[in-house]
Amino acid sequence: MDEAFGAAVRARFDIVSFDPRGVGGSVPALTCEPAEAEAEAEETSEDFSDAVAPLYPRTEAARSAAASGARTAAEDCEEHSGPILRHVGTEDAARDLDVLRAALGERELTYLGWSYGTSLGTSYAEQFPRRVRAMVLDGAIDPSLDWRQRVISQSAGFRRSVDDYAEQCAEIAGDSCPGANPQEIRALIERLYQRAEREPLPVAEDSTYAEYGGMDATAVLDAVSMAMYTPEDQWEPLSEALREADQGDATKLGALDDELETEDPGTAEEEQEEQEEDEIPEPPADNGDAALTAVNCLDVPHPRSLRPYWAALAPADQAAGVYGTAGVTADLTCRDWPSGGRRPHRVDADGVAPVLVVGTTGDPATPYEESVSLAEQFPEGMLLTYEGLGHTAYGRGDTCVTAQVDAYLVKRERVRPGATC
């Protein structure tokens, strides 16, 4: 984590991070995965080849299947993590953050949050506005949006980013691009989505997706979407994976996330020795997806009736194509989730110190427009615009962003209106 911060910040501060309640190494950790024995029983009773779901459920049968799958996912979470589901929301995590501040003996908090961390920072600023020394929110989430607005905003961001990939692939990924021009790349991606809706794309026997019969359309869309986060690292392997998937082997496409997660300079023996020396128990498996679902469902009220979801499909399709319709069906899980107390609202943080919001114009997951909005909602809020691609800006190597954020965090130097890197 230290390498994500500029030299001036590392020299001035101790960098402290934490796993929010229910996440990663926190105990108890949220899990929605069936136990191994349950999973084996499910595998023997299901034919995964018949479980292909469309990205845009238009028929009654497709919608019924989408609702049933979402209900099952919610029930799995309730069964395995029921006691903590109602207590992993952002307001709770923000109060934990203030406990951490006090435990460190700090009178005021100096905070930097990326992506979901912007929601955590915003909540902290609302609950403890006079305990903020400085706060950077990079890749903002706008708390004033309701569930449908959020889905459309983020889905449109992913669609734009995939268009950026098609347009700028040659500049970043070079000869590995899976098409000779943007039109060919777009056509290839659309072709894969359509194939995967008819039948899962084939993968090797040792692939994560082999037990499901291959990659369905949702898995393909997720792989493409996740590769938009860091173009400088992901577009080249994505391009190679798309080319091979189009030729009949989606193994590399299904392994894109695995490649990112396994990038680690240490050996297995070194990790084991460090663990034994520090006597730190091995953390649970990555539960980031379950945690994000849990927090989203608690933080943002969702309809209990199915009708609003089906009504949202057409506007989502118009705004973001299959990225939008898939986003709507993904939110169906929240229909059967415990409700939290938060409602969409504009920031209420009177007395907070000037907050710096950083927005990336080509951000797929937290669209730039939400950063603009969040900066406007904070009293004396400041916006730093990064004209670039990928998710968030600070810590990705741009010297202009690093200099301005570091100057603010260390010296509390304000960023001028209209500042752009």
Residues labelled as active-site residues: 115, 363, 391
The owner of tokens 């943080």 is 349
The owner of tokens 């319709």 is 325
CB 390 within 8 A of CB 229: yes
- Give CA–CA dist 169/236, Å, rounded: 8
CB 249 within 8 A of CB 202: yes
Burial of 333 (0-12, 13-18, 19+ CB in 10 A): buried
Query: What string of DSSP letters covers 98-150?
Result: HHHHHHTT-SSEEEEEETHHHHHHHHHHHH-GGGEEEEEEES---TT--HHHH
Secondary structure element (H or E) that encloses residue 169, with its range: helix 147-173
Six-digit token string for 43: 């595998």
Give the CA distances from residue 77 to residues 36, 70, 301, 320, in Å, rounded to whole numbers and listed in that order.
Answer: 15, 11, 18, 29
Query: What string of DSSP letters covers 41-108?
Result: HHHHH--GGG----SS--SHHHHHHHHHHHHHHHHHHHHHHHHHHTT-SHHHHHHHHHHHHHHTT-SS
* Displacement of CA 238 from its chain's centroid (Å): 18
CB count in 10 Å sphere of residue 411: 11
Length reported for the chain: 421
Could you give the dihedral angle defined by the CA atoms of residues 333, 196, 254 and 284, in that order, rounded to the nearest 10 degrees?
Answer: 20
- Give CA–CA dist 76/341, Å, rounded: 23
